[in-house]
């Protein structure tokens, strides 16, 4: 009985397991769009983006968007409801929307298996 | 030895196929527009040759009707009627049409939907994001100004009694979705998905022919209660979790008020999803059946039945009507019992 088929089997299994973990851990898409009133303000690859804060203005009101550790969220918004700030970090289930300031932060392509949510 | 080789090849083929994309890509024309209107965020996506033009027209139409129905825009039909001091004003055909529908639904649902609840909603601060608990006296003083049956609509002549306020927010988005659906069909679009602030409306099926998959929000948590598969249908959900606030003791007050008491509806339901052909019907029923509660909602469905529904009760029971029972599946980890209503 030769041993090499078992070694080969082991290697294939290992490569498969490691590969699966990598595929599942990496989000399918990391391209993020910051859109105001239908106009694309920024579009970048979140996995490549450095930490930082960007400011977006709308009719004199400011939204501060923070990127940290390849995640993105609304740090501050001078609007009364603070819904967008409370939404936390962007995930694939829903875009971050600031209604009063007409601002949307979203993944360019949804990795979700759903067509819409309601 | 031979077995080993078979095992190896099976394993290898598994490795090679496991990364296949789950969804087939559509390589035809796709167009999307985002619109901020009617106090919400809308995304319209359409497929096919005329998609782009059809969506541009749809955007115009939505902005047009928003101008007519806004409660705060001084030039709107609704604002003029609300601030006429009880005088009759002339409104557009669209406004008259939508209002006639809202009044009819208010009557059919025994006033559980009431387009004149606005003054009480304002007292709770839900219209201005300054949420607060009004005193019982304040609510008692405002309730006499709530009552859909005192709104007079004669053709396009509208009279709102002095002190009362109309608000078409509970049906406007559904109606707008119907208008967009009409436009898309005129342009020959056979596949489109509209999301008007959580009001979903599907034209046809996905471009690949499969039904659309709609996530139904799980109240008070991230993620979905389940997935609903639809074609050519509107799906509208109402739930307290959508807009609420808490007092110091942790009591929750939400935006769906019972027009008979002026307090947040407490009918034993956490959310109501209505599935039907028309957005306006789904929009109005999702609110009114939430106010009614499960038992009355079931009776309403048996008597009127031109729709399907999904109710989530306080006890974690999911009640679905037979028409959609096979199209709904609970998400992983949602341990709920499902009860199917049959005719």
In contact, B224 and B218? CB cutoff 8 Å: yes
What is the model's pLDDT at position A13? Answer: 85
Confirm or reject contact between A16 and chain B (CB < 8 A).
Answer: yes
Q: How many whole angstroms separate alpha carbon B331 and alpha carbon B316?
A: 14
B40–A99 CB contact, under 8 Å? yes
Within a domain: residue B215?
Answer: yes
Report which secondary-structure segment, H or E, holds A86: helix A83-86
Within a domain: residue B312?
Answer: yes
Average pLDDT over residues B66-70: 96
**Which residues in chain B touch residue A85, judged by CB atoms under 8 angstroms apart?**
none
B39–A99 CB contact, under 8 Å? yes
B213–A115 CB contact, under 8 Å? yes
Within a domain: residue B72?
Answer: no
Within a domain: residue B300?
Answer: yes
Q: How many whole angstroms separate alpha carbon B58 and alpha carbon B70?
A: 18
Q: How many whole angstroms separate alpha carbon B250 and alpha carbon A13?
A: 52
Tokens of A59: 């009719």
Within a domain: residue B15?
Answer: no
What is the model's pLDDT at position A118? Answer: 84
Selection from B38, B40, B89, B101 nearest residue B67 by Cα: B38
pLDDT tens track for B94-136:
999 999 999 999 999 999 999 999 999 999 999 887 889 999 9
| Total tally of structural domains belonging to chain B | 1
What chain A holds in terms of domains, given with CATH numbers, is 29-107 (2.60.320.10)
Global pTM exceeds 0.95: no
**CB neighbour list of residue B209: distance below 8 Å, 6 or more residues apart:** none
A114–B214 CB contact, under 8 Å? yes
B215–A81 CB contact, under 8 Å? no
Average pLDDT over residues B164-184: 97
Within a domain: residue B21?
Answer: no
**Opening angle at CA B287, ends B180 and B73, nearest 5:** 55
CATH label of the domain that carries residue B227: 3.10.520.10
User: Which of A99-103, B3-7, B13-17, B268-272 is predicted least confidently?
Assistant: B13-17
Q: How many whole angstroms separate alpha carbon B151 and alpha carbon B77?
A: 14
Residue B51 buriedness (CB in 10 A; 0-12 / 13-18 / 19+): buried
What is the model's pLDDT at position A114? Answer: 85
Q: Using CA of residue B177, residue B181, residue B187, residue B188, what is the dihedral sign?
A: positive
Selection from B335, B295, B303 nearest residue B319 by Cα: B295
Residues of B with CB under 8 A from a CB of A: 1, 4-5, 7-8, 11-12, 14-15, 18-19, 22-23, 33-36, 39-41, 128-130, 193, 195, 198-200, 206, 212-217, 222-224, 227, 235-237, 273
Tokens of B39: 């106090």
**Which residues in chain A touch residue B328, judged by CB atoms under 8 angstroms apart?**
none
Within a domain: residue B258?
Answer: yes
Q: How many whole angstroms separate alpha carbon B173 and alpha carbon B164?
A: 22
Question: CB neighbours (10 Å) of residue A106?
Answer: 20
Within a domain: residue B151?
Answer: no
User: Which of A5-14, A16-25, B100-109, B169-178 is predicted least confidently?
Assistant: A16-25
* B20, pLDDT greater than 50: no
Please give the residue range of the domain that contains residue B218: 211-343
B214–A9 CB contact, under 8 Å? no
What is the model's pLDDT at position B23? Answer: 40
pLDDT tens track for A38-58:
889 999 999 889 999 999 999
Q: How many whole angstroms separate alpha carbon B278 and alpha carbon B232?
A: 10
What is the model's pLDDT at position B8? Answer: 64
Q: How many whole angstroms separate alpha carbon B87 and alpha carbon B161?
A: 8
Interface test with A, best of B36, B193, B210 (most A CBs within 10 A): B36
Shortest Cα distance from A100 to chain B (angstroms)? Answer: 8
Shortest Cα distance from B200 to chain A (angstroms)? Answer: 6
Select the more confidently predicted residue: B255 or A94: B255
A116–B40 CB contact, under 8 Å? no
pLDDT tens track for B225-281:
999 999 999 999 999 998 899 999 999 999 999 999 999 999 999 999 999 999 999
What is the model's pLDDT at position A111? Answer: 59
Strand locations in chain B, DSSP E?
30-37, 40-47, 88-90, 152-154, 157-159, 191-196, 199-204, 212-217, 224-230, 234-239, 244-246, 252-254, 269-276, 308-313, 317-321, 328-330, 337-341
């Amino acid at each position: 009985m030769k041993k090499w088929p078992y070694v080969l089997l082991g290697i294939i299994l290992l490569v498969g397991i490691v590969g699966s973990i990598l595929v599942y851990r990496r989000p399918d898409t990391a391209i993020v769009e910051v859109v105001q009133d239908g106009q694309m303000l920024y579009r970048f690859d979140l996995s490549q983006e450095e930490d930082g804060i960007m400011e977006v203005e709308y009719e004199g009101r400011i939204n501060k968007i923070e990127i940290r550790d390849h995640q993105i969220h609304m740090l501050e918004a001078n609007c009364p409801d603070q819904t967008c700030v409370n939404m936390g970090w962007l995930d694939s289930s829903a875009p971050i929307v600031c209604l009063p300031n007409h601002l949307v932060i979203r993944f360019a392509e949804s990795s979700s298996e759903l067509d819409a949510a309601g | 030895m031979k077995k080993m080789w078979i095992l190896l090849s099976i394993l290898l083929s598994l490795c090679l196929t496991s990364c296949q994309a789950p969804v087939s890509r559509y390589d035809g024309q796709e167009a999307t527009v985002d619109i901020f209107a009617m106090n919400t965020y809308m995304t319209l996506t359409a497929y096919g040759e005329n998609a782009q033009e059809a969506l541009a027209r749809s955007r115009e139409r939505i902005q047009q009707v928003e101008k007519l129905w806004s409660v705060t825009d001084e030039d709107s039909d609704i604002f003029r009627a609300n601030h006429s001091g009880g005088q009759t004003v002339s409104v557009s055909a669209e406004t008259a049409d939508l209002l006639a529908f809202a009044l009819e639904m208010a009557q059919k649902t025994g006033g559980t939907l009431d387009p004149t609840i606005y003054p009480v909603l304002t007292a709770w601060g839900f219209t201005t994001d300054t949420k607060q608990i009004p005193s019982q006296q304040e609510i008692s003083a405002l309730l006499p100004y709530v009552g859909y049956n005192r709104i007079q609509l004669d053709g396009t002549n509208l009279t709102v009694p002095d002190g009362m306020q109309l608000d078409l927010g509970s049906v406007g988005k559904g109606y707008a979705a119907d208008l967009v659906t009409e436009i898309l069909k005129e342009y020959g679009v056979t596949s489109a998905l509209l999301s008007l602030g959580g009001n979903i409306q599907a034209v046809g099926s996905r471009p690949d022919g499969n039904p659309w998959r709609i996530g139904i929000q799980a109240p008070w948590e991230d993620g979905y209660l389940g997935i609903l598969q639809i074609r050519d249908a509107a799906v509208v959900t109402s739930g307290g979790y959508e807009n609420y606030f808490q007092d110091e003791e942790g009591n929750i007050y939400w935006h769906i008020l019972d027009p008979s008491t002026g307090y947040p509806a407490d009918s034993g339901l956490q959310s109501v999803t209505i599935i039907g052909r028309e957005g306006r019907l789904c929009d109005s029923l999702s609110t009114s059946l939430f106010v009614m509660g499960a038992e009355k909602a079931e009776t309403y469905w048996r008597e009127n039945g031109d729709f399907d529904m999904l109710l989530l009760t306080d006890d974690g029971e999911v009640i679905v009507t037979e028409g959609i029972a096979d199209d709904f599946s609970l998400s992983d980890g949602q341990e709920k019992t499902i009860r199917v209503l049959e005719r």
